[in-house]
Amino acid sequence: MTEREPPWTSVESWVDKQIRDAQACGEFDNLPGAGKPLPGAGDPEDENWWLRSFLRREKVGDAVLPPALRLHKDIEELPGRVASMRSEAEVRAAVDDLNERVRESWRGESLGIRPVGLVDPAAVVEQWRTHRLAATPDGTATTPPDPTRPAAT
């Protein structure tokens, strides 16, 4: 702990002396981030920088979105989510779950956000089939190898 500022010195000169003493002792040598640019230096000024950095640091993600916007995003991401599913029943269950959440949102207030429409399960299943199944030369359909499993050698 540093000593208290002597009453006969100005605050600025006392702080300067503390910094000079610390530099002379090498207390500022090898600090993490030394020689690296400051994050965000040179970027355009953003009045919400603190909020953006908080959301990124805390990994908040979509949790802060209003329910209607979250549903829009879920509908947008649905094809990518169902691509890894193994059966048509799983795909239909995912679409049914999403449609149930859409119906729930209709019962609440939308607060000026455009309404969310239902997803057509048949269209999603057909899209899933198109992407999931690969036609073989003999005309039969087969599922492509699972990318999460190691390849057989």
pLDDT, one tens digit per residue, over 39-76 is: 778 888 888 888 888 888 888 877 778 888 888 889 99
Q: How do residues 105-142 score in pLDDT, each as one tens digit? A: 887 765 556 677 888 899 888 888 888 775 444 545 55
Q: What one-character-per-residue DSSP string does 95-106 give?
A: HHHHHHHHHHHH
**Which DSSP symbol is given to 139?**
S
Q: How many CB atoms lie within 10 A of CB 138?
A: 6
Phi and psi based region of residue 124 (left: phi greater than 0; alpha: psi -120 to 50; beta: remaining): alpha
Sketch the domain layout of the chain as residue ranges.
Answer: 65-136
Confidence class for position 100, pLDDT limits 50, 70, 90: very high
What would the mean pLDDT of 141-150 be, rounded to a whole number? Answer: 44
Q: Residue 90 carries which side chain, given as an amino acid letter?
A: E
Confidence class for position 97, pLDDT limits 50, 70, 90: very high
Considering only 26-30, 34-38, 91-95, 144-148, which range has the smallest mean pLDDT? 144-148
Cα separation, 95 vs 35, whole angstroms: 52
Confidence class for position 86, pLDDT limits 50, 70, 90: confident
What is the average pLDDT value for the chain, to the nearest integer? 78
